[in-house]
Every structure is written in C-alpha cells, then in structure tokens.
Amino acid sequence: MNRLLSSGHRSSVAAILCLTLYFCPTAVSAAPNRAPSISGSPATTAYVGKVYSFQPTASDPDGNKLTFKISMKPAWATFSSATGILTGTPSSSQTGTYSNIVISVTDGRATKALPAFAIEVVQAIATTTATTTPVTLSWVPPTQNVDGTTLTNLSGYKVFYGKASGQYPYSVSIGSPSITSAVIEGLAPATWYFAIKAITTSGTQSDFSTQLSKTVL
C-alpha cells in the first residue's frame, strides 16, 4: 500500500501558489460614461446689418471636456467649437432662409444635439423717420370664396410688404372686416411692394391680392 509521507512543511509548489493568489489584484469595473446635455432656443430671424448671436447651454455629468460642432452653418456666421456660440452679421445680399442647422456637443465618446433649426435673414425693420412719406393702401372687401360661394365669415385682413417683388418679410394684421384701408409708415427710401390677404374666422387665408408698388422718397 502506497503512503504519502509528510515532513510537516508545505511544499514549494503550494507556497508559490499561495503567494500568487495573495497578490492577485481585485478587478474593478469602470463607471459607464454618461452623455453630455445641451439645450437652448435659437432665434429664427436675423436682420441685415445687425448682429445675430446664439450660444447653447451644455454640461457633462462626468466633468469631461466638451467640444461643440455645427452642420449647415450659414456663410455669414462664425462658430466656436469651444463655446458653441454662433454669431454673425448678414449683409443685404444674404437674405433668405438657412435651413437644417444642427449644433451638437460631444465629450469624446457620446454626442448630443439640438433639434435642427432654420434662420431667416430679412431686411432690418424700418424705423419711423420724418423724411419719408407714408403709404396709404385701400381695397374692396371680397364677397365670394374661390368656388363662387358667398363669403360669410370674413374676420379681417393681413397686409404684406417688402422691397423685393413677391417677397414680403413684413406684415400688418387688421382685425376687422369693416376696415378697408391701412397707412404704412416708417418705410426707408426705396421701391416697396404690397399685397393683401383676406382672413376668415377659422384662420384660413386667401391667396395674395394683385401686387402694388410704391416708391418712397
């Protein structure tokens, strides 16, 4: 019968195994990265010759460094990747709508973005001056719908105007169907174009009326 004799000492193999287990580091799982947040409501109108500026608010719950990005940036604006500020002064040749602008922020691993927005560049609102002549408009109230039926729910009108034919960045609402004239003051010297829409009590608007023009001196 085979016997295992023991001298009372641990074997060298067992000792090495114990030391290896003793110094084995405990695995620590890294905390998951949390995405940054971004918020803000950019103005959707910019005026020719006036500074436009928008800066979103952003933060990171882990304290990570943030970097901002933009897509579809208007050509008249500059953008800071460090602060997220979008600023610029559009010129008269840059009127129009700049769509699908997206500002986002990233901590290097996760990205969050604001909803896409658009900026419409229009001429600056004219201020009243004593050197310009007011424009008086008058019209005949409509009596029929486009289908020939009698118009019974007319609630008012909206006068549209601008300095380019067919483009009307300005408007004045008239809340009574009995008012059939309007005086537009404070127009800068230029040729101005005007058109009117009738509005029903349900908010439905007619097509534009025939366009009129007037040169203001």
Residues 75 and 143 in one domain: no
Residues 79 and 107 in one domain: yes
Residues 100 and 153 in one domain: no
Between CA 134 and CA 128 the distance in angstroms is: 9
Between CA 129 and CA 20 the distance in angstroms is: 91
pLDDT band at 14 (very low <50, low <70, confident <90, very high): very low
Q: For 142-200, what is each residue's pLDDT tens digit?
A: 888 877 888 889 998 999 999 999 999 998 888 888 888 888 888 888 999 999 999 88
Residues 105 and 158 in one domain: no
> Does a structural domain hold residue 19?
no
Q: Residue 55's domain spans which residues?
A: 37-122
More confident residue, 46 or 217: 46
Residues 101 and 139 in one domain: no
Residues ≥6 apart with Cβ < 8 Å to 144: 150, 151
Of 89, 122, 155, which residue sits at a domain end?
122
CB 117 within 8 A of CB 77: no
**CATH for 159:** 2.60.40.10
More confident residue, 48 or 8: 48
Answer yes or no: is pLDDT of 1 > 80: no
Residues 156 and 191 in one domain: yes
Residues 104 and 159 in one domain: no
Neighbours of 145 (CB within 10 A): 15
Answer yes or no: is pLDDT of 2 > 80: no
Report the pLDDT value the prediction gives residue 23, as an integer from 0 to 100. 47
Tell me the chain's radius of gyration from C-alpha atoms.
35
Report the pLDDT value the prediction gives residue 127, as an integer from 0 to 100. 46
Residues 203 and 173 in one domain: yes
Mean local confidence (pLDDT), 60-70: 94
Number of structural domains in the chain: 2
pTM: 0.48
Q: For 84-137, what is each residue's pLDDT tens digit?
A: 999 999 998 998 999 999 999 999 999 999 999 999 998 875 544 444 678 889
> Does a structural domain hold residue 127?
no
Residues 85 and 139 in one domain: no
Answer yes or no: is pLDDT of 16 > 90: no
Length of the chain: 217
Between CA 143 and CA 149 the distance in angstroms is: 9
Report the pLDDT value the prediction gives residue 29, as an integer from 0 to 100. 64
> Does a structural domain hold residue 201?
yes
Residues 117 and 139 in one domain: no
> Does a structural domain hold residue 24?
no
Residues 148 and 211 in one domain: yes
Of 122, 152, 184, which residue sits at a domain end?
122
Mean local confidence (pLDDT), 27-54: 86
Residues 190 and 162 in one domain: yes
